[in-house]
Amino acid sequence: MPIDYVHGYDDLEARRLQDQAGALTDLLHSDTRYAPGEEILEVGCGVGAQTVTLLRNSPKARFTCIDRSAASLEQARSAVERAGFADVRFLVADVFALPFPPASFNHVFLCFVLEHLSAPASALREIRTVLRPGGTLTVIEGDHGTACFHPDSSYARRAIACQVELQARAGGDAMIGRRLFPLLADAGFADVRVSPRLVYVDGSRPQLIDSFTRKTFTSMIEGVREAAVTSGLATADDFDRGAADLRRTASPDAVFCYTFFKAFARAD
């Protein structure tokens, strides 16, 4: 079932999502394209951080975008309009009870959605019902267990673990990327293919230092400080030291790595 979005819905999180989308456009979406006239469903579009890229890659496909947050949908609609796209349908909807007839779409796309669901397999089975025979599914998820960095820091790793634990307590899984293949196969999809997408950042990549290491990943971990301290997962001093050590990995002499997983599958 859906869970509370662990990162919150404030303006800072909306900006973090946009920063993340911009930093990862080529890595995650260079091979995501749909043919003119095809019907595409984006599940969990949020504030439209991925939607605009999808539209730019496939401007003549027909998109329907759903999310359970009406406020996020309004932000997505505004982002799409600012980008110059108009013919997009936005609906408040639940992935566990999709309001579409069977076999409505050629393709379904979801990015950073399954990690926030307590029953991702059930969601995938529901998605499969709205795909036409031979239609495809694209899923992108991260995996916090793949984060590594230099200089290493046990405090930074424990701060990351706080975010992973908080998401688990809410019913989600911040390390779901490694589970995509079995999840899709068990949900009845065919031809499942998963490709790891490594983000590697060092001093030769200043744009990624700012957009990914600093504004995407470190900002996300810093965002759970209050919850981590209040729940007793970390002391304020320990968490702050971990956050500082993560910020240190955004220095020109540091290195940060993280792996996303992109899965493709087909509905029989």
What is the average per-residue pLDDT within 112-135?
97
Say yes or no to pLDDT of 253 above 80.
Answer: yes
Dihedrals phi, psi of 18, to nearest 5 degrees? -70, -40
The proportion of the chain whose per-residue pLDDT surpasses 90, expressed as a percent, equals 88
Mean predicted lDDT score pLDDT of the chain: 93
Q: How confident is the model at residue 5, as a pLDDT? A: 46
Cα R_g (the chain), whole angstroms: 18
What is the average per-residue pLDDT within 47-64?
95
Instruction: Output the CA angle 193-196-202, nearest 5 degrees.
Output: 165
Contact between residue 243 and residue 164 where contact means Cβ atoms under 8 Å apart:
no
Q: How confident is the model at residue 14, as a pLDDT? A: 47
Q: How confident is the model at residue 25, as a pLDDT? A: 86
Dihedrals phi, psi of 73, to nearest 5 degrees? -60, -40
Burial of 99 (0-12, 13-18, 19+ CB in 10 A): exposed
Say yes or no to pLDDT of 113 above 70.
Answer: yes
What is the average per-residue pLDDT within 168-194?
98
CATH of domain 11-266: 3.40.50.150
CA distance 130 to 138: 14
Residue 130's nearest CA partner among 93, 92, 97, 100 is: 100
The three-state secondary structure class of 246 is helix
What is the average per-residue pLDDT within 66-83?
95
Say yes or no to pLDDT of 218 above 70.
Answer: yes
Compute the residue count for the chain.
Answer: 268
Give the pLDDT band (50/70/90) at residue 23: low
pLDDT digits (tens, 9 = 90+) for 78-109: 999 999 998 999 999 999 999 999 999 999 99
Dihedrals phi, psi of 207, to nearest 5 degrees? -65, -40
Residue 38: CB atoms within 10 A of its CB come to 17
- Whether pTM > 0.85 for this model: the answer is yes
DSSP string of 102-168, one letter each residue: TT-EEEEEEES-GGGBS-HHHHHHHHHHHEEEEEEEEEEEE-GGG-EEES--HHHHHHHHHHHHHHH
Instruction: Output the CA angle 260-45-175, nearest 5 degrees.
Output: 30
CB-based burial, 225-259: b 16+ in 10 Å, e otherwise: bebbbeeebbeeebbbbbbebbbbbbeeebbbbbb
